[in-house]
Structure 1
C-alpha cells in the first residue's frame, strides 16, 4: 500500500494556490496544510484493521481501499488548483488593478513583474494557436462563448502590454515585454485577417435563400436598394464590432481602418461595375465620341442615385462596427464616400466640357436634375463642414452643366438668325427649321421647372457682369411690346425671343416665293404648325400663354384672307355680270371670252395649287371649304343665267367645260401635292 501512495507534485507551488481557497478547506496554517498534504499516510496492520472493521466487511473494505489508492495516484494533490486561462486572466486583472492603484514614484519604479506572467503568456499563446487553426476560423461568429473568451484574452494582453510599458523600470523586463508584444501582434494579425474575411463576405437573412431567388429579386425594378446595401447578420456585426474595438484599444487602429477602407472600397467598386459604370478620366472622356459618352450618362445617373441610397446604409454600417469610436466611423465614411462623390462630379464636369451641340441639351438637363435632387440627401449624411464643402462643389458642377445648357440655347438662337437659305421649300410646306425649332422648344418645356432654375442662376451671373445685358432688361422691353405680365421668367423670355426670331425668319423665307398666294400658304402652314404644337403641349402652352396663341390665330386668318383675295377673288372676276349686257341684251362674244378666261384660269389654278402642300388636315379642309363656299354658288348662278345664251351642242361644249360638281371635285384635289391634269381626268 505504501508504494501506491501519490508523491508530492513537482509542479505545485504554493503561490499557485489562493489563500482564500486554502482557508476555506482547512483551518490549518498554509505551511502546515501543505506539509500535511505532502506526508505519507501510515500503514495500518491487519490487527488494526480487524479492530476497526468487522470481518464480514473486510473484503469490501479492501476493494474500497484499492479504488481510493488508484484515484490518489491519478489525481493531483487535493489542495493543488489547475492553472487555466480563466485563472490567468484573473491574475492579470488583479495585477492591472495594482498598477492602477495610487502608488508613489518609488514604488512604481521598483515594481516587479509577478512570476505568474510567464505561465499566463504560455496559456494565452496556446489560445491564439487554437484560434489560428482551421476549426475556429471556419466557425467564427457561431461559437459565441469561444469568441468572447478569445476577445477577453486579447483584451488583457493589450492592457498588460500598455500598463507594463508605462512602468518606469520596464527596461528591466525587456524580454517579457518583447514576448507580450509578439503575442499581441500575433493576436492582432489573426483579428485583422478575420476582420477582412467578415467584411468581404457579408451574410444577410436574404442570402440564405437560393441564388436564383436572389437574382430574381435583383432584377425586379425598385428592389435595387435591397441588394445594394451592405448587409450582415447581427452575429457578424457583433463580431466586427468587437474586433474593431479590440484592435483600436490595442493600438492597431491604423491597421483596422485600412482593412475596413479597402474592403468597403472594393465593395463599392464591385457595385459600380454591376451597375455598368466604369471609372474614366476626364482626359479619356474628352477623347470619346458623343455617341459613346451619351450611353454612359444614363449609367452615371442611375449609379449616382443608387449611391445616395448606399451612402446612408454605409454610414449606418460604419456606426454599428465602430460604435465606441464615432470619430473613427465618421472619418472612415467620409474618406470612402467623398472620393466617390468627387469622381461623379468629375464625370459631370467632363461632359459639360465637351463640344456643344443641340442634341446634348436634354442629357445635360438630366444630369443637372440628378445633381440638384441628390444634394439634400448628401447634406444629411456628412458633417456640417464637409457637407458645406460638398454642397459648394456640387453646386459648382451643377452650374457648369447649367451653363452648358444655356450655351446650347444661345447656339440655337444664333442658328435661327443665321439660317438664311435662298432655296424655298417646295409646295410651301412646313419648313424644316420650323419643325426642328418648335419640337425642340416643346421638348425643352418638359424640363421647364429645371430650365427656370438654370436661367435664374444664369441671370444672377449676368447681373454680376456689368458688361452683359441681363435677362431682366430684356423682360421689361418685351413686356412693353407684347403686354405680357411683368412677372415673366427668364426662360419664358428666352422662349418667346426664339419664337419671335423664328417668325421673322419665316417671313423672310416667304418672300422667296414669287406667287403671293404661295407665300400665304407657306406662312399658314408654318404658323398653323407652331400653333398646334403649342396648343397640344400643356408645358409650352403655359410658357407662351394665351396671348401668343390668339395673336398667332389672328395672323393665320389674315394670311387666309390674303390667299383668297390673291387667287379666288381674281377668278370670280370672270363670273362678274358687269359688262356682259348692252341695251338689255347679252353680248355673246364677251360671254364666250368670260367662259374661256374662267376655264383657263381655273385650269391653271388647279394645275398649280394641286402641287402645293397643306399637311395639316384641318387647315386643308378649312381652305377647301372656304374656296367652295365662294366659288360654287357664284359659278352655279353664272352658269344658270348665261349658259342658254350659247348655242346648244358644239358651242356649249366648247365654252362650258365645267359643271358646278366638277368645280367642287377639282377644289378637293388642291393642296395634296399631286398634280392632276384636268384633260386626263375628263377622259
Structure 2
C-alpha cells in the first residue's frame, strides 16, 4: 500500500474517461505558449473552488452536489492542467509557470479530496452496489449508456469513480486511497458494531453466562448473513468499480476497509468454541455457527481471494475447524454421559426411562443438523465394525457402499443406549416387566426415529429390524404374563369334556385371568399404538379361545348347580376388561413425568383393582352370570 501511494502515477494506467463535454482546446502536444495559457486559465478556474479560500461557497458547498456541469468542467480543467504541465520544458523546473501549475494542482487535489469525502459519506442508498456495473469494460461514459445485462451506476458512484481516476492519474494516489479507506472503513466497522458483533477476549467469554452468550451467538449468525450478502459484498463491488483502472489498488483498499471487521466477525466462533463445557445441549449453538460459516464458504473464498485478505480466509477456516473439533468432543461427551448413567431405581410398571427420553430428544434435535453433522464427522474415525452388532451392517450397506460416518455415529449412540437399557431391565425381579420395559423404551426410540431425520440417517432397514425386536419383547411379555391364562383352557376348546372338568376349567380361567389383569393393571404401556397392538394380540389368543370354550360348555356347566357359580364372565366381558386395561385412559407414563401409582383399570360399573387383587363389584358380577343360570 505504501509503495503504491508514494510512487508516481503508473504510465500504463489509461487516462480518465471522457464524459460528454465541449471539445478540449489542448492538443496532444502543446506548445510552450499554449501550455502557459492553459496553466493560467486552469489556475483561475481551480482557485474559485479552493477549499481554504474565504469564499463560503468554496468552503462549504460540493461541486458535484451543487452543479454537475461545473463539476465536469472542473475535472476537465485538472486533466488539461496535468497535460499542460507535462508539456512544459523539464529543464525549466523552477519556472514561475511550472510552480503556479503545481500550486493549482495541489489546490485541485484538496478540492477533490473534499469531494471524495462528500460522495463517500452519502446515504448508503446512493452508493448501492447493486446498481454498479461490476468490472464493466470501457469508460464511465460506456457504463452510463448501459450494457447488455448490466445496470447503469448511480450518479454518486459515477462521480466517485471520476474523482478516484482523476486523483490517481494526477499522481495523488496516496491522498485518494487514504481518504477512501478511512471513510469506508468507518462505514463497515460501524455496520459490524450495529449488527451486534463485539470484540471479545477469551477471558471475557469464559466468565460470561450461557444465556448471554446465546443471545450474542444469534446476533452473530444474523450478522454473518448480512455481512456476506450485503456489507462485504457491497464494499467489494464498490472497490472494483471505483478502482476499475487498477485491480491492485482496489484489492488493497478492500482489504484495508473490511479487514478488521471481517477478522472480528470470524474470530468470534473460535473463542466460543474454546469455552469448555460438559453440557451436550450447548452443541446446538456450535452447530448453528458452523453452519453459518460453512454455508457461506464459497462466498468467503471468492470474496477474500487476494493475498492481502488471506488472513481473513485463514481465520474463518480456523474457526470452522475449531467448531468441528468442539462438536466432535461434545458428541463423545454425550456418548460418555449415556454410558456412565448409574441410576439404580427402576421405572414403575416398566415405563420409559428418563435416560431414553433425554437421549432421544437430543438425537432428535441433532438429526435436524444432518448435513452439518455429516460434514463435521466425515473424516472422524467411526466405531470399529466389530463393536457394532453384525446385523446392523446386513441389508443396510454393502462393503462397496459403506454407511456414511454420520449414520454410523447415530447408530452407535443408540446402540450404547440400548445396551444400557438392557442392563437396567435386569433390575426388575419380574421377568415379564423386564420385557415390557424393553418394549416401552424401544418403542419410544423407534417413534423418535420415525418422526425425525434419524429415519433417513439410519435407513428403513434399521427401523424394520428394531421393529422386529420390539415385537419380540412384547411377545415375551405377553407369554409370561398371559401364558397361564391360555393354558387354563383345553388345547382344543371345543373338545368334549365332562361337566365337572369344564367347571374346573372355568374356575381356573377365572383365577388366572384375574391374576393377569391384576398384574397388568399396575404396569404401563406408554405408547398408544403399542397398547393397541398388545390388546389386539390378547383378543386373538385369549378372547377367541375363551369364546370357543364358553360356547361349547356354558350350557353344560349351567345345568350343574355346583358349576353355575364357576362361570363369571362372558367372552364379551373378557374383551371388555382387556379393552379397559389397554385403553388410552389406562395407566401409562414416562419416567420424566411423575410416576403414576396403581389405579383402577376400569371406571363406572367396571371391576376395580386394589393392591394387585381382584375385587369385582357385586352388581356387575350379577350381570355377568349367563342368562338362565341362578346364583
TM-score range with shorter-chain normalisation?
0.7 to 0.9
Deviation at 1:675, TM superposition (A): 2.6
Given candidates 82, 100, 109, the residue that maps to 1:188 is 109
Residue 433 (structure 1) aligns with: 355
Deviation at 1:639, TM superposition (A): 4.5
Q: What does 1:143-292 correspond to in 2, within 5 Å?
A: 143-155=67-79, 170=94, 177=99, 184-202=105-123, 234-272=154-192, 275-292=195-212
Residue 377 (structure 2) aligns with: 455
Residue 435 (structure 2) aligns with: 520
Deviation at 1:567, TM superposition (A): 1.3
Residue 370 (structure 1) aligns with: 292
Deviation at 1:623, TM superposition (A): 0.7
Cα distance in 2 for residues equivalent to 1:630 and 1:116: 113
- Residues 267, 316 of structure 2: 8 Å contact kept: no
Cα distance in 2 for residues equivalent to 1:118 and 1:370: 60
How many residues are paired up? Answer: 538
Deviation at 1:283, TM superposition (A): 3.9
Residue 329 (structure 1) aligns with: 250
Residue 543 (structure 1) aligns with: 457
Cα distance in 2 for residues equivalent to 1:115 and 1:276: 58
Q: What does 1:600-679 correspond to in 2, within 5 Å?
A: 600-639=511-550, 655-671=566-582, 672-673=586-587, 674-676=599-601, 677=608, 679=615
Deviation at 1:147, TM superposition (A): 1.4
C-alpha distance 121-565 of structure 1, shift in aligned 2 (>3 A): closer
Write out per-residue CA displacement over residues 426-456 of structure 1, whole angstroms, 9 at most, x where no aligned residue.
2222222223323432332333333222112
Cα distance in 2 for residues equivalent to 1:682 and 1:189: 109
Mapped pair 1:445 → 2:367: yes
Match of 1:236, SS state, is helix
Residue 566 (structure 1) aligns with: 480
Residue 46 (structure 1) aligns with: none
Cα distance in 1 for residues equivalent to 2:426 and 2:191: 61
Cα distance in 2 for residues equivalent to 1:628 and 1:127: 102
Cα distance in 1 for residues equivalent to 2:72 and 2:580: 95
C-alpha distance 126-577 of structure 1, shift in aligned 2 (>3 A): closer
Given candidates 347, 360, 384, the residue that maps to 1:474 is 384
Mapped pair 1:504 → 2:419: yes
C-alpha distance 124-643 of structure 1, shift in aligned 2 (>3 A): closer
C-alpha distance 268-680 of structure 1, shift in aligned 2 (>3 A): farther
C-alpha distance 654-511 of structure 1, shift in aligned 2 (>3 A): same
- Residues 141, 236 of structure 1: 8 Å contact kept: no
Residue 316 (structure 2) aligns with: 394
**Structure 2-normalised TM-score?**
0.73
Cα distance in 2 for residues equivalent to 1:251 and 1:394: 37
Deviation at 1:314, TM superposition (A): 2.0
Write out per-residue CA displacement over residues 89-145 of structure 1, whole angstroms, 9 at most, x where no aligned residue.
99x9644988xxxxxxxxxxxxxxx89978975664345359861698255245233
Deviation at 1:410, TM superposition (A): 0.7
- Residues 282, 346 of structure 1: 8 Å contact kept: no
- Residues 261, 332 of structure 1: 8 Å contact kept: yes
Cα distance in 2 for residues equivalent to 1:490 and 1:389: 31
Cα distance in 1 for residues equivalent to 2:245 and 2:506: 107
Deviation at 1:370, TM superposition (A): 2.4
Mapped pair 1:315 → 2:236: yes
Write out per-residue CA displacement over residues 488-535 of structure 1, whole angstroms, 9 at most, x where no aligned residue.
222222122112111111111112222222212111112222223334
Cα distance in 1 for residues equivalent to 2:162 and 2:464: 75
Cα distance in 1 for residues equivalent to 2:224 and 2:459: 37
- Residues 489, 546 of structure 2: 8 Å contact kept: yes
- Please tell me whether Structure 1 or Structure 2 has the larger radius of gyration of its CA atoms: 1
- Residues 185, 257 of structure 2: 8 Å contact kept: yes
Write out per-residue CA displacement over residues 388-426 of structure 1, whole angstroms, 9 at most, x where no aligned residue.
654444332212111111112111111111112111222
Residue 217 (structure 2) aligns with: 297
Write out per-residue CA displacement over residues 522-577 of structure 1, whole angstroms, 9 at most, x where no aligned residue.
1111222222333444x423332344333312222322221222111112333358
C-alpha distance 354-162 of structure 1, shift in aligned 2 (>3 A): farther
Cα distance in 2 for residues equivalent to 1:131 and 1:250: 26
- Residues 319, 329 of structure 1: 8 Å contact kept: yes
Write out per-residue CA displacement over residues 157-196 of structure 1, whole angstroms, 9 at most, x where no aligned residue.
66788999975763x86x994x766655444333222211
Deviation at 1:332, TM superposition (A): 0.4
Please state which structure has a larger fraction of its residues in helix.
1
- Residues 113, 176 of structure 2: 8 Å contact kept: yes
C-alpha distance 131-658 of structure 1, shift in aligned 2 (>3 A): farther
- Residues 255, 309 of structure 2: 8 Å contact kept: no
- Residues 364, 448 of structure 2: 8 Å contact kept: yes
Mapped pair 1:406 → 2:328: yes
Match of 1:148, SS state, is helix
| RMSD (Å), alpha carbons | 4.1
- Residues 192, 261 of structure 2: 8 Å contact kept: no
